[in-house]
Amino acid sequence: MKLLLVGLLATSLWGDARYKLAYRVKANVLIQLVASLAGLSKLNSDGDEVILKGSRLMVRGEKTSLILDYSTGRMVLIDHLDKTFERLRIEDMQKRIAADIPGPMVEGLKRMFPGGGGGIAHEVKVEKAGDKAVMKSLEAFRAKHGLSYLLPAMESIVSLTPTVAKSIEAVRQSGELVEALRTQIGVNGKITDALVEIRDYREGAVGDKEFQPPADYTEVK
Protein backbone atom coordinates (compact mmCIF):
# COMPACT_ATOMS: atom_id res chain seq x y z
CA MET A 1 0.00 0.00 0.00
CA LYS A 2 2.79 2.39 0.90
CA LEU A 3 4.59 1.63 -2.36
CA LEU A 4 1.37 2.26 -4.30
CA LEU A 5 0.89 5.63 -2.58
CA VAL A 6 4.47 6.65 -3.37
CA GLY A 7 3.94 5.63 -6.97
CA LEU A 8 0.77 7.68 -7.27
CA LEU A 9 2.45 10.74 -5.77
CA ALA A 10 5.38 10.44 -8.13
CA THR A 11 3.06 10.08 -11.13
CA SER A 12 1.12 13.19 -10.12
CA LEU A 13 4.34 15.18 -9.89
CA TRP A 14 5.25 14.08 -13.40
CA GLY A 15 1.99 15.43 -14.79
CA ASP A 16 2.86 19.15 -14.48
CA ALA A 17 5.66 21.16 -16.04
CA ARG A 18 6.70 24.53 -17.42
CA TYR A 19 9.11 25.41 -20.17
CA LYS A 20 9.96 27.95 -22.86
CA LEU A 21 9.27 27.20 -26.52
CA ALA A 22 11.83 28.97 -28.68
CA TYR A 23 11.75 28.94 -32.46
CA ARG A 24 13.54 30.36 -35.45
CA VAL A 25 11.84 30.03 -38.82
CA LYS A 26 13.24 31.14 -42.15
CA ALA A 27 10.67 30.79 -44.93
CA ASN A 28 9.85 32.01 -48.41
CA VAL A 29 7.08 34.57 -48.96
CA LEU A 30 4.29 32.02 -49.55
CA ILE A 31 4.98 30.15 -46.33
CA GLN A 32 5.18 33.44 -44.42
CA LEU A 33 1.75 34.47 -45.73
CA VAL A 34 0.18 31.10 -44.90
CA ALA A 35 1.72 31.19 -41.41
CA SER A 36 0.26 34.66 -40.86
CA LEU A 37 -3.23 33.48 -41.88
CA ALA A 38 -2.85 30.51 -39.53
CA GLY A 39 -2.33 32.88 -36.62
CA LEU A 40 1.44 32.84 -36.29
CA SER A 41 2.03 36.54 -35.70
CA LYS A 42 5.80 36.02 -35.57
CA LEU A 43 8.23 33.44 -36.89
CA ASN A 44 10.90 33.99 -34.26
CA SER A 45 10.73 33.79 -30.48
CA ASP A 46 13.27 33.51 -27.70
CA GLY A 47 10.74 31.55 -25.71
CA ASP A 48 6.96 31.64 -25.35
CA GLU A 49 5.91 30.26 -21.97
CA VAL A 50 4.29 26.81 -22.03
CA ILE A 51 2.55 25.11 -19.12
CA LEU A 52 1.66 21.43 -19.15
CA LYS A 53 -0.81 19.54 -17.00
CA GLY A 54 -1.86 16.03 -17.93
CA SER A 55 -3.33 16.26 -21.44
CA ARG A 56 -3.64 20.05 -21.31
CA LEU A 57 -1.18 22.48 -22.80
CA MET A 58 -1.12 26.28 -22.73
CA VAL A 59 1.12 28.48 -24.86
CA ARG A 60 1.25 32.08 -23.63
CA GLY A 61 2.06 34.66 -26.27
CA GLU A 62 2.17 38.44 -26.26
CA LYS A 63 -0.81 38.89 -28.62
CA THR A 64 -2.56 35.54 -28.38
CA SER A 65 -2.51 32.48 -26.14
CA LEU A 66 -3.67 28.93 -26.80
CA ILE A 67 -5.15 26.47 -24.34
CA LEU A 68 -5.40 22.97 -25.81
CA ASP A 69 -6.92 19.87 -24.25
CA TYR A 70 -5.92 16.84 -26.30
CA SER A 71 -8.09 14.46 -24.27
CA THR A 72 -11.27 16.28 -25.36
CA GLY A 73 -10.05 17.75 -28.67
CA ARG A 74 -11.07 21.25 -27.56
CA MET A 75 -9.19 24.51 -27.29
CA VAL A 76 -9.48 28.11 -26.14
CA LEU A 77 -8.08 30.91 -28.28
CA ILE A 78 -7.29 34.05 -26.27
CA ASP A 79 -6.81 37.46 -27.89
CA HIS A 80 -4.90 39.77 -25.56
CA LEU A 81 -5.33 42.81 -27.81
CA ASP A 82 -9.16 42.66 -27.85
CA LYS A 83 -9.36 41.02 -24.40
CA THR A 84 -11.62 38.27 -25.76
CA PHE A 85 -11.51 34.48 -25.92
CA GLU A 86 -13.22 31.77 -27.94
CA ARG A 87 -13.89 28.12 -27.18
CA LEU A 88 -13.84 25.69 -30.11
CA ARG A 89 -12.72 22.28 -31.25
CA ILE A 90 -9.14 21.88 -32.44
CA GLU A 91 -10.47 20.22 -35.59
CA ASP A 92 -12.76 23.18 -36.32
CA MET A 93 -9.87 25.60 -35.90
CA GLN A 94 -7.85 23.67 -38.46
CA LYS A 95 -10.78 23.74 -40.89
CA ARG A 96 -11.25 27.47 -40.33
CA ILE A 97 -7.61 28.17 -41.11
CA ALA A 98 -7.77 26.04 -44.26
CA ALA A 99 -10.92 27.89 -45.38
CA ASP A 100 -9.31 31.31 -44.79
CA ILE A 101 -6.35 30.59 -47.06
CA PRO A 102 -6.99 31.97 -50.59
CA GLY A 103 -7.20 29.51 -53.48
CA PRO A 104 -3.97 30.63 -55.18
CA MET A 105 -2.05 30.01 -51.94
CA VAL A 106 -3.56 26.53 -51.62
CA GLU A 107 -2.57 25.73 -55.21
CA GLY A 108 0.91 27.02 -54.48
CA LEU A 109 1.17 24.73 -51.45
CA LYS A 110 -0.03 21.77 -53.52
CA ARG A 111 2.70 22.41 -56.07
CA MET A 112 5.35 22.68 -53.36
CA PHE A 113 4.02 19.76 -51.29
CA PRO A 114 2.32 17.31 -53.68
CA GLY A 115 0.31 14.58 -51.99
CA GLY A 116 2.35 11.87 -53.67
CA GLY A 117 5.46 12.98 -51.85
CA GLY A 118 7.42 13.93 -54.96
CA GLY A 119 8.58 17.16 -56.49
CA ILE A 120 10.40 18.82 -53.62
CA ALA A 121 13.31 17.79 -51.46
CA HIS A 122 12.56 17.83 -47.77
CA GLU A 123 13.88 16.29 -44.59
CA VAL A 124 13.10 16.37 -40.90
CA LYS A 125 16.06 16.32 -38.55
CA VAL A 126 15.70 15.53 -34.87
CA GLU A 127 18.22 17.29 -32.69
CA LYS A 128 18.75 16.33 -29.06
CA ALA A 129 19.19 18.88 -26.30
CA GLY A 130 19.56 18.24 -22.58
CA ASP A 131 18.73 15.09 -20.67
CA LYS A 132 15.28 13.61 -21.17
CA ALA A 133 15.62 11.72 -17.87
CA VAL A 134 14.66 14.93 -16.06
CA MET A 135 11.65 15.60 -18.34
CA LYS A 136 9.24 12.94 -17.11
CA SER A 137 6.06 15.00 -17.55
CA LEU A 138 7.00 15.78 -21.11
CA GLU A 139 7.82 12.14 -21.82
CA ALA A 140 4.41 11.08 -20.52
CA PHE A 141 2.67 13.73 -22.63
CA ARG A 142 4.61 12.75 -25.76
CA ALA A 143 3.71 9.09 -25.32
CA LYS A 144 0.00 9.98 -25.51
CA HIS A 145 -0.13 13.03 -27.77
CA GLY A 146 2.93 12.91 -30.02
CA LEU A 147 4.72 16.13 -30.89
CA SER A 148 1.90 18.45 -29.85
CA TYR A 149 4.06 19.83 -27.03
CA LEU A 150 6.56 21.06 -29.61
CA LEU A 151 4.36 22.05 -32.56
CA PRO A 152 1.01 23.26 -31.18
CA ALA A 153 0.72 26.33 -33.38
CA MET A 154 2.10 24.64 -36.50
CA GLU A 155 -0.23 21.63 -36.64
CA SER A 156 -2.77 23.36 -38.88
CA ILE A 157 -0.11 24.30 -41.41
CA VAL A 158 1.47 20.84 -41.33
CA SER A 159 -1.93 19.30 -42.10
CA LEU A 160 -1.95 21.24 -45.39
CA THR A 161 1.43 19.88 -46.46
CA PRO A 162 1.17 16.07 -46.90
CA THR A 163 4.86 15.37 -47.49
CA VAL A 164 5.89 17.25 -44.35
CA ALA A 165 3.08 15.64 -42.34
CA LYS A 166 4.41 12.23 -43.37
CA SER A 167 7.89 13.07 -42.09
CA ILE A 168 6.51 14.53 -38.85
CA GLU A 169 4.50 11.34 -38.33
CA ALA A 170 7.71 9.31 -38.73
CA VAL A 171 9.21 11.31 -35.87
CA ARG A 172 6.10 10.70 -33.76
CA GLN A 173 6.32 6.97 -34.38
CA SER A 174 10.00 6.79 -33.44
CA GLY A 175 8.96 6.76 -29.79
CA GLU A 176 11.75 9.07 -28.67
CA LEU A 177 11.35 12.30 -26.74
CA VAL A 178 12.14 15.17 -29.07
CA GLU A 179 13.51 18.21 -27.29
CA ALA A 180 14.38 20.11 -30.46
CA LEU A 181 13.10 19.62 -33.98
CA ARG A 182 14.67 21.07 -37.09
CA THR A 183 12.70 20.99 -40.32
CA GLN A 184 14.32 21.82 -43.62
CA ILE A 185 12.21 21.96 -46.77
CA GLY A 186 13.80 22.43 -50.17
CA VAL A 187 17.47 22.25 -51.06
CA ASN A 188 19.45 23.62 -48.09
CA GLY A 189 16.21 24.81 -46.50
CA LYS A 190 15.42 27.16 -49.37
CA ILE A 191 11.65 27.02 -48.71
CA THR A 192 11.67 26.58 -44.94
CA ASP A 193 14.40 26.14 -42.36
CA ALA A 194 12.89 25.95 -38.89
CA LEU A 195 14.26 25.05 -35.48
CA VAL A 196 11.91 24.63 -32.53
CA GLU A 197 13.36 23.84 -29.12
CA ILE A 198 12.51 23.52 -25.45
CA ARG A 199 14.33 25.70 -22.92
CA ASP A 200 14.28 26.10 -19.13
CA TYR A 201 12.21 22.97 -18.54
CA ARG A 202 11.16 22.36 -14.94
CA GLU A 203 8.73 20.05 -13.16
CA GLY A 204 6.27 21.42 -10.61
CA ALA A 205 2.61 21.60 -9.71
CA VAL A 206 0.40 23.69 -12.03
CA GLY A 207 -3.00 24.90 -10.84
CA ASP A 208 -6.20 24.53 -12.87
CA LYS A 209 -6.74 28.30 -12.73
CA GLU A 210 -3.79 28.79 -15.07
CA PHE A 211 -5.83 27.11 -17.79
CA GLN A 212 -8.60 29.70 -17.62
CA PRO A 213 -8.92 32.92 -19.66
CA PRO A 214 -8.42 36.14 -17.64
CA ALA A 215 -11.52 36.98 -15.62
CA ASP A 216 -12.01 40.37 -17.31
CA TYR A 217 -11.94 38.96 -20.86
CA THR A 218 -15.18 38.56 -22.86
CA GLU A 219 -16.15 35.27 -24.50
CA VAL A 220 -16.88 35.38 -28.23
CA LYS A 221 -19.61 32.96 -29.34
Q: What CATH number is associated with residue 50? A: 2.50.20
pLDDT at 87 over 80: yes
Look at residue 217 and tell me if it is in a domain.
Answer: no
Better-predicted residue by pLDDT, 97 or 58 = 58
Q: How many domains does the chain have?
A: 1
* Percent with pLDDT over 90 in the chain: 31
Model confidence over 172-209: pLDDT tens digits? 777 778 888 888 777 677 777 888 899 999 999 999 99
Position 78: which residue type?
Answer: I
Residues ≥6 apart with Cβ < 8 Å to 131: none
Between helix 29-37 and helix 103-112 the angle, nearest 10°, is: 130
* pLDDT of 25 higher than 70: yes
Average pLDDT score, the chain: 79
Domain membership flag for residue 105 = yes
- Asked if residue 10 belongs to a domain, the reply is no
Least-confidence region, from 20-29, 75-84, 202-211:
20-29
Query: What is the pLDDT, as a whole number, of residue 219?
Result: 97
